[in-house]
Amino acid sequence: MRRLASVLAVSVLVLTGCSLPRHYPEVTFHANGKTIRVEPAVYCDLGGDNCAERAQPAKLKVPAGKVVQISVDGQLADGLWEAVFLYRDAAGKEQTTGTGLLGKGENFTYTLSLPDKADQLLGIEVHEAAAAVLETGQPLLRGYWAVEVTS
């Protein structure tokens, strides 16, 4: 999971500050007959400032070859969000990939299915874009929800 966080940190860049609103959007993950609701690990104001850490990564058991259903609340679905995941392929190599940007009121759910049935999921992060953009043109991260996967 640490590797996932460090890989993603390159695209995230700025998460600092301290105060947050009272309501935090949650993301629901469902796999292998179990459902968990996850609060953001980090959440910022709409401009990407005033961030605070909220929660440690949740844990979810996902055997190789199983899918994960991801469902975001309306606040995330109305904006821009993406799911990024780390997995170990059949050759034992760690891979990171993602959904690309979803949302704009059209995507409330995503089914995460790895390329090969032998691949083992290791971690998932859901990212919400802030209203601001980085100099590179990429959206600034407003918050993220993290799940550490056990097999």
pLDDT in tens, 5-46: 434 433 333 433 444 445 789 999 999 999 999 999 999 988
The confidence score (pLDDT) of residue 119 equals 96
SS3 of 109-144: EEEECCCCCCCEEEEEEEEEEEEEECCCCCEEEEEE
Q: Name the residue range of residue 42's domain.
A: 2-150
* Helix extents (H) in 1-151: 2-12, 74-78
How far is the C-alpha of 130 from the C-alpha of 144, rounded, in Å?
A: 11
Higher-confidence residue: 51 or 7? 51
For the chain, helix (H) and strand (E) counts, in that order, are: 2, 12
What does pTM read for this prediction? 0.83
The number of folded domains in the chain is 1
Per the structure block, which two tokens stand in for 147?
């799940």
The confidence score (pLDDT) of residue 23 equals 74
> Which 3 state secondary structure label does DSSP give 79?
coil
